[in-house]
Amino acid sequence: MAMENVKQFVFVLSAAAAVGFVCIVFVLRWVLYFREGLAWDGGAAEFNWHPVLIVTGFIFLQGIAIVVYRLPWTWSCSKLMMKLIHAGLNLLAFVFAVISLVAVFDFHNAAKIPNMYSLHSWVGLSAVILYALQILLGIGVYLIPITPVSIRAAFMPIHVYSGLFIFTSVVATALMGITEKLIFSLKDPAYKNSPPEATFVNVLGILIVIFGALILWIATRTSWKRPSDQVLHTLHTNGGGEANSKVGPTMSQLSGGGDTEAFGDVRRRSSKLDDQVD
Amino acid sequence: MAMENVKQFVFVLSAAAAVGFVCIVFVLRWVLYFREGLAWDGGAAEFNWHPVLIVTGFIFLQGIAIVVYRLPWTWSCSKLMMKLIHAGLNLLAFVFAVISLVAVFDFHNAAKIPNMYSLHSWVGLSAVILYALQILLGIGVYLIPITPVSIRAAFMPIHVYSGLFIFTSVVATALMGITEKLIFSLKDPAYKNSPPEATFVNVLGILIVIFGALILWIATRTSWKRPSDQVLHTLHTNGGGEANSKVGPTMSQLSGGGDTEAFGDVRRRSSKLDDQVD
């Protein structure tokens, strides 16, 4: 990655981290200042763990987990270590999501409110189930050493797409959750009269959208990928579905130089197929 | 594109078209059977144009506009004609979106309900404004003949990303809109008691998410791109931000053959930079 490109990356990453951090501050101020605070008592203060854990874990931590391979200063670390960090952050985000579900089910049961009636709950629970499946399949395909390289390569476009799809679904679910909660809890003045809490939490919703947009921008910039993963992408671009027959030309293009420093031009690096998909 | 690849494309495209069609049927059944029908009278039947026009125009038509370059049977058409179809479908979707906004503002004003207080309205109006900007910039950059090729190439990643971002935001806004409308209009039994309308419209929400997911899958499969556009993608993949200095090797890789039939292997086609970004 050229230095100019690294500067742009660091700028967008810093913006994402800053917006994500402000989201966490906003959700904490929402529940601590405007609402009933945090507790584990079956009441409204237990419900409040739901937005706090979703924003902190299922949105912020998952977002960071998605872009962790992009950090140029990790490109000298082993791929295995980066995969463990990626998996670890996603597992942590999953734990946050599960505890946040327990909080809202507990609250509903104590208050005799039905569970799973809303579109928010349908999309949200689907996202959590798909996330569990994504983590299990990710571990099985990319962390269990015996999985063949051909399966790893074939599954990568699905792994990447479903990761971004789940993340986007979580952001959309959070927007529905904010909408529901403001309608249900603001009564006098109501949501439609725009009391300070309504405006404040709408801004939180906009900030969550901006955080999501920045993470998706980072994740989809091919030139910001970890060098060995850029190679895989080029291979997919040129090879389409029939990888085996078309590896040849791409590989020969890539093996022109022996330059292996971490920030080198990808086309000058020698590279093995193994390294691109493990 | 290999025949196997074409079959997969047609299968996913047919699924998207079918799901999109069912979404339109569902939104019509919602307003005609469960709600007050359609009229332009300042009342609830005028509001009902809002979901109908959003699902038909801002979601279905925009989704089709996004994937129109992917249809293999259009690859023998001129790029200019495809660009006019892409722009025309997006303009039509924009007109639908604007009329749907007029319907909801009319309804709010007649019923003395404030405008623009909800997160739904904030994200939704932002999406409409960004969509107008996207269309204007798209016309200026890709349809006005004098725009230099260098600007067309540099702007393409932004045009693609913001198009998919706006489409995704519209889907998320629709989910918030469904949530709001079901809470406001279902009173006895309420949304939380899952009357038939609630379940029916939740299913519509899930179908909209599936339609969005299929469009995003089609739009992000590099091997499904129009052949001359695949070349551009390869160029971006290899060239990163500094296209000029890196065009050389990619171009020489591409000009190895003079085979120009519409379904040929992209790497065997001779191609000019002009053709890739116009």
Here the CATH number for the domain that contains residue A8 is 1.20.120.1770
**B190 and B72 in a common domain:** yes
Between positions 63 and 122 of B, the ones with CB within 8 A of A are: 113-114, 117-120, 122
* pLDDT for res A268: 34
Q: How far is A141 from chain B (nearest CA, A)?
A: 21
Identify the residue with better confidence: B3 or A263: B3
pLDDT mean over A177-185:
98
**B219 and B119 in a common domain:** yes
- With beta carbons under 8 A apart, name residues in chain A contacting B266: 238
Give the span between the Cα atoms of A189 and B114, in whole angstroms: 13
* pLDDT for res A78: 94
Q: Is B7 on the interface with A (CB under 8 A)?
A: no
Which of A125, A179, A252 would you mutate first to test chain B, the one with the most B CBs within 10 A?
A179
Give A43-85 pLDDT, tens digit per residue.
999 999 999 999 999 999 999 999 999 999 999 999 999 999 9
DSSP A45-95: HHHTHHHHHIIIIIIIIHHHHHHGGG-GGGTTS-HHHHHHHHHHHHHHHHH
* pLDDT for res A233: 52
Asked whether the beta carbons of residue A180 and residue B183 sit closer than 8 angstroms, the reply is yes
CB atoms within 10 A of CB A60: 24
pLDDT band with cut points at 50, 70 and 90 for residue B1: low
- With beta carbons under 8 A apart, name residues in chain A contacting B191: 117-118
Boundaries of domain holding B235: 230-277
Give A157-166 pLDDT, tens digit per residue.
999 999 999 9
Give the span between the Cα atoms of A168 and A219, in whole angstroms: 12
Mean pLDDT of chain A: 87
What sign has the CA pseudo-torsion B225, B229, B235, B236?
negative
Mean pLDDT of chain B: 87
pLDDT mean over B35-56:
98
Closest to B55 measured CA to CA, from B163, B170, B199, B169:
B170
- Give yes or no for residue B248 having a pLDDT over 80: no
**B234 and B205 in a common domain:** no
- Give yes or no for residue A266 having a pLDDT over 90: no
| A242 Ramachandran zone, left/alpha/beta (phi>0; psi -120 to 50) | beta
Nearest CA in chain A to B206: A123
Out of B169, B180, B192, the one facing A183 most closely (by C-beta) is B180
Residue A190, beta-bridge partner list: A187
**B234 and B209 in a common domain:** no
Give B203-219 pLDDT, tens digit per residue.
999 999 999 999 999 99
Between positions 13 and 72 of B, the ones with CB within 8 A of A are: none
What are the residues whose beta carbons fall under 8 Å from the beta carbon of A18, sequence distance 6 or more? none
Nearest CA in chain B to A205: B119
Asked whether the beta carbons of residue A176 and residue B176 sit closer than 8 angstroms, the reply is yes
Closest to A1 measured CA to CA, from A68, A71, A64:
A71
Identify the residue with better confidence: A87 or B273: A87
**A211 and A112 in a common domain:** yes
ipTM: 0.86
**B199 and B266 in a common domain:** no
Out of A122, A205, A240, the one facing B206 most closely (by C-beta) is A122
* Domains identified in chain A, total number: 2
**A14 and A109 in a common domain:** yes
Between positions 235 and 254 of B, the ones with CB within 8 A of A are: 236-242, 249, 253
Which of B3, B23, B27, B179 would you mutate first to test chain A, the one with the most A CBs within 10 A?
B179
pLDDT band with cut points at 50, 70 and 90 for residue A223: very high
Cis preceding-peptide flag for B114 (omega within 30 of 0): no
Picking from A200, A225, A250, the residue at the C-terminal end of a domain is A225
* pLDDT for res B2: 75
Q: How many residues does chain B have?
A: 278
**A197 and A77 in a common domain:** yes
Picking from A210, A225, A240, the residue at the C-terminal end of a domain is A225
**A40 and A173 in a common domain:** yes
Nearest CA in chain B to A206: B123
* pLDDT for res B261: 33
pLDDT band with cut points at 50, 70 and 90 for residue B231: low
Closest to A167 measured CA to CA, from A135, A203, A131:
A131
**B218 and B184 in a common domain:** yes
Out of A192, A202, A267, the one facing B238 most closely (by C-beta) is A267
Q: Is A193 on the interface with B (CB under 8 A)?
A: yes
* pLDDT for res B256: 33
Nearest CA in chain A to B199: A117
Out of A184, A198, A230, the one facing B117 most closely (by C-beta) is A198
**B246 and B184 in a common domain:** no
Instruction: Say if residues B130 and A209 touch (Cβ distance below 8 Å).
Output: no
Asked whether the beta carbons of residue A117 and residue B183 sit closer than 8 angstroms, the reply is no
Instruction: Say if residues B270 and B276 touch (Cβ distance below 8 Å).
Output: no
Nearest CA in chain A to B161: A217
pLDDT mean over B56-70:
98
- Give yes or no for residue A3 having a pLDDT over 80: no
**A158 and A52 in a common domain:** yes
Q: Is B205 on the interface with A (CB under 8 A)?
A: yes
Q: Which class for B144: exposed (0-12), middle (13-18), buried (19 or more C-beta within 10 A)?
A: exposed
